[in-house]
Structure 1
């Protein structure tokens, strides 16, 4: 449904540009192909994917760091994290529902059948006229002589004209040239394309407008051919005399009154080349805007959303933190304020510290979130949420939890990066702890005046409002009470970037965005369906998607590394084809690991090179200078583009070409920054796929949508 809506709006925008900008110029043949391209483009543009930076989500940030039993998640805190008792949910009979989907499909099928019958009827009417009436060859064209009085029209290679008028005076020269132009330019095929689309998409308003615009443009083209040989005024009088009291056929290119006024005005139109160039240039920018508006946006995982695989030692320190109903803190049973807690946490190793966190049932959700954030800032990732005696789960809360997840598909990741599908009822108690759930909304909180004023310091705080990065000066336009929720976090020195060098990040939520993110109708409270996939990983990360098929970069690396290790340990490791695959995987892993920033390498497993006996290969030294790189690059590009349009590479040639690309890519990575700016980065224009156990290569532009998804394109 979203695709169709985008397609309709896209075509309407393109037609609006044609009407306001292009139709007024003498660019008739260009306009013809623009209109046809607009129709096809409106169906293709919504399929284009654009990569955009994924919004910072506090629910992901919080649950990524603070799940129970060391698990990470993209959802907001669980029922354990809330620490409030769940209200009993009484089952109520489900009201009768109107089958809107069936009604909609019935209406669509009815419209489809009516339009199909209409289309077939129009084709048959013209076919019958050709078959039943007398045909003559007139100046190289086939003219069908009709007994009834009708306006001249053409369809495909036929010109239709009134028999009585033809026998008396023949066909006026201007009219003949007009209809001959329709035949030679094959205008009927344009109309047939739109009519076929209207049978399937009879509800599409843009197609009706496009059909009208195409027909009008056809008349402009034919008129332009005529007035090159005839005076404009004489031709106009001839048209008016022929049109009086006559009718035509739906699919034919014909003369008719509704288009006459526009045609007469365009016959006298003149156009300046400079204006035409400007309008064509504006078309390029407009197409870019249309693509940006209607293309599919694909979120690119930000570094903060990539989870780390943390190795814990057996020597762990355990501390206990309890939060009272008034927000007071007890550290190992002793009262402590937040400043003291920060100092205590800064003195411990976050990766080797286990925090047992408990809270009073009456504690506000925002207070708990603040303590969780303190733990996250100090990299304390091992947090166990424990209950007091008054917080034991009731049967009603477990029932609500089960209703929330019972229809979802849940994947369990193994240490070998293999995935097992389960339902909620099949999960173990430990696995269930990775599914964070709450039925209580996040408590609203607005910043105090002092905190709000401090955020105006652009050197200390990076600022987001409703998920969009903004300049700190924007805060002057608002008051603290204009925001229903905020989230402040610290940024470690090695995690800062040139764009956001500040030590702190602040996310502010307007009332509307708060409701969309945390309100009762928000995504976090939506019961999961069989279209939702949740992945519980062995790396203590919970993803609200199928990462076996659509992995993040870290998971993709680990999956490839698992396959690499499995092949090395397999009994077939010494077979030539397996050796080659092992070497290829190692080179890809080594290359990916080398390109990974140092602060993320701890998330990965460094690939271990295969023994020389496994592959029989040693790594050659890479050339380190620019001229040597250009030499390799030129040879590689020559091979890639060798008869690319007319000749297909063999599998052996493709394998060798891929090896050359990897060598060239490594050479590029070894160049200095100054040299990199003066050369071109290599690219491999083929995708490597495995089908039925065989490796095949395809051009990127030839990939199907399913193949693109499997490659996370």
Structure 2
């Protein structure tokens, strides 16, 4: 979650910076509107995307080490290394738990405030006179206010309306907000601010969106009346008043200067094209940098950390012997009479150690039942790998139990990349792969096991 928030914040900052530097000052308001909205959607979705890339090849050592982890007896896991991760994970969980609760409470506060604003607005539509006008509804208020807009409602002063003291340009300006559905943009950014209230960039995006709305509405007015100077003078005379409601579109003194300058600005087609074209490689580059690309062949090493829910071949008697494998450079796992674990390479063993009973660690053949294979088809329960390749769960139906030489499953932990997608990772080897790839790798780079504690117990 922390990485996701970091990526989304960086993305928002870059997109907002590009907007301020290259787009806001140009007269391409329709494009800017969709740029700002797309930036918000992009920044909060792209970092959450996880693309799985099957690895075409894998180093022999990685494959053998993965299988060694699968069949390694639990007693060979060194206590200090096995116990520390759960403790740290528990502390992290408690810390994240409290942060999530606090953040949710703050979000709840902002959500209640948001609902209160909505209730205030809609109460005004029911308790005051309503006049239908073109695509909008005029709500006549008893207060002396400047017109402001929400959805298809235009709120105006009843006294000003009855005495014809509201200029047609102001009506046209608010009607442009209604026609172009600017309120939907504001509602969208407000909902994002409720969830991600701690992200200051959303406040900057809201200001940019609302300013662009004013540019669009001003452009609509000037296209209708063709008198920029008169409209500018009108805005200056009205800019000192405001409605005070954050969900509405209205005149604002702080925005007036930028609006007046924008009315007299012109942007050539070539400039507009270049500025728009800049955005295409920008979004492509950000998508490539922020998307989580995952090599499937690397996952099992991280995931084989818990007891599998199904019976695996780890506990089966070993059939390969030391003489069957290239043991000279093999890794040897040892457990002495006191149960203390250690490891050496075979060429580091003493002659006495070499003479002891040495077993080869590997996954012996095991055949699943048809009932087990039916369960594997559930994508919510299992993520399936066949012969080291990630496949769809439906691929299991292509095999019979007799086609499978070995299988093992493990629970997906919270620190795994695929956590939340399925509960267990299932690794399957077919007969051909088991004999011609896996056993060959075991023989070339074996892991051996000397267990003196077992002798003592016997």
TM-score, normalized by length of structure 1?
0.43
Look up the match of 2:385. 551
Look up the match of 1:564. 399
Look up the match of 1:6. 7
Determine which of 169, 175, 181 is the counterpart of 1:174. 169
Answer yes or no: is the 8 Å Cα contact 1:187–1:218 preserved in 2: yes
1:385 has 2:332 as partner? yes
Cα offset, 1:54, TM superposition: 7.0
Cα offset, 1:22, TM superposition: 2.2
Aligned partners of 2:69 and 2:14: how far apart in 1? 41
Point out which structure has higher relative CO (alpha carbons under 8 A, 6+ apart): 2
Cα offset, 1:238, TM superposition: 0.7
1:284 has 2:280 as partner? yes
Aligned partners of 2:247 and 2:228: how far apart in 1? 27
For residues 62 and 419 of structure 1, do their structure 2 counterparts lie closer, same or farther at Cα, with a shift above 3 Å needed?
farther
Look up the match of 2:40. 39
Answer yes or no: is the 8 Å Cα contact 1:554–1:604 preserved in 2: no
Look up the match of 1:196. 191
Structure 2 residues not aligned, in runs of 5+: 302-318, 343-362, 373-380, 405-429, 440-458
Aligned partners of 1:138 and 1:217: how far apart in 2? 25
1:159 has 2:154 as partner? yes
SS of the equivalent of 1:24 reads coil
Give the RMSD, CA atoms, in angstroms. 4.7
Look up the match of 2:436. 602
Look up the match of 1:109. 104
For residues 150 and 553 of structure 1, do their structure 2 counterparts lie closer, same or farther at Cα, with a shift above 3 Å needed?
farther
1:22 has 2:18 as partner? no
Answer yes or no: is the 8 Å Cα contact 2:240–2:252 preserved in 1: no
Look up the match of 1:293. 289
Look up the match of 2:367. 416
Aligned partners of 2:10 and 2:164: how far apart in 1? 49
Aligned partners of 2:383 and 2:207: how far apart in 1? 45
1:142 has 2:137 as partner? yes
Greater percentage in helix: 2
Cα offset, 1:172, TM superposition: 0.6
Aligned partners of 1:288 and 1:226: how far apart in 2? 36
For residues 63 and 136 of structure 1, do their structure 2 counterparts lie closer, same or farther at Cα, with a shift above 3 Å needed?
closer
Answer yes or no: is the 8 Å Cα contact 1:80–1:385 preserved in 2: no
Show the 5 A alignment for 1:536-685: 549-551=383-385, 553-554=387-388, 564-566=399-401, 602-603=436-437
Aligned partners of 2:123 and 2:51: how far apart in 1? 50
Determine which of 111, 114, 119 is the counterpart of 2:114. 119
Aligned partners of 2:197 and 2:320: how far apart in 1? 70
Show the 5 A alignment for 1:115-514: 115-138=110-133, 141-228=136-223, 229-301=225-297, 318=323, 352-355=324-327, 372=329, 383=330, 385=332, 392=336, 394-395=338-339, 397=341, 415-416=366-367
CA-to-aligned-CA distance 1:102-133 (integer Å, 9 cap, x gap) = 43133223212211221111111112222222
Cα offset, 1:289, TM superposition: 0.8
Aligned partners of 1:553 and 1:392: how far apart in 2? 35
Answer yes or no: is the 8 Å Cα contact 1:64–1:73 preserved in 2: no
Cα offset, 1:253, TM superposition: 0.8
For residues 556 and 238 of structure 1, do their structure 2 counterparts lie closer, same or farther at Cα, with a shift above 3 Å needed?
closer
Structure 1 residues not aligned, in runs of 5+: 306-313, 319-351, 358-371, 373-382, 399-411, 422-546, 570-592, 606-713
